[in-house]
Structure 1
Amino acid sequence: MNPQENLEVWISTVGLLRAKLSQTMKGINDLRQECRKRQCFAPNELSPLMAEAQELFVEMLKAGEFLGTTQENLNRNPSETFEDYLEDWALTQTEDRFKRVKDFLIVLSETQISGLELEKEIWEEGIKLIEEALIRKPA
């Protein structure tokens, strides 16, 4: 797979993971609003879960910028040595973020908070996307 194809796969994965994190944040926010309507306290576990989802969402935004900038630079400056370095740098920066999102999704899959109803596709599809992207990373 050439550098452009690798980057396109990873850029797509970043976008899909942002959507999964967004769904998670919406579910948490919906539960908080429901608790306000019922004039009760939201479960304490929601705050750290929301904070981590927000942090990882921002990290996916950064990863998208790394990958997008790399893709633009590869289009403008085709030099094999430069391409290899730039692609490796962008993928390494993003790989760590993918692993953090995967860890979060695993924790999310095991989390049971009364009233928080998230579709299991969030973590099932998210983990699968990450694993597929990491398999495609050049050695």
Structure 2
Amino acid sequence: MAARTASGSVVVPAPPSEVFALLADPRRHAEIDGSGTVQSIVDAPERLELGSTFSVAMQMGAKYRTTNKVVEFEPDRRIAWKHFAPHRWRYELEPVEGGTRVTETWDASRYNAVTFLPVRALGFPAKAQQGIDGTLLRLRERFS
């Protein structure tokens, strides 16, 4: 079975509460997006919680707009959202010596073999891995 996840981790010199505050504020996602696809937030609350939705202007080739919903939420520890498709973007935070280990995961494990084929044809999970690597670098720089 083809890989259906991409993931990476980085330690940032800040407590989990500060990192989570940034992640839970969708208006700031473009600041840390390492994929280059997040253009701006169209509509969003100031702080996300379980069930919150937020709309994003995106560009991956063509420009488009999508609405995400928070589907996992544990303050200062974990947040994940998804749009109309079953894959999720998840951040997990762990306090460690010197700050917080941030693990970002693009999780497409909810696709079956057939429904994952078009996603794979678009270059995923490799594209997701590139975006994760860039985002984690920006996060580390943001808190350094």
Question: What TM-score do you get using the length of structure 1 for normalisation?
Answer: 0.30
As a proportion of its length, which structure holds more helix?
1
Which has more strand, going by share of residues? 2
TM-score (norm 2): 0.30
Task: Tell which structure's C-alpha radius of gyration is larger.
Answer: 1
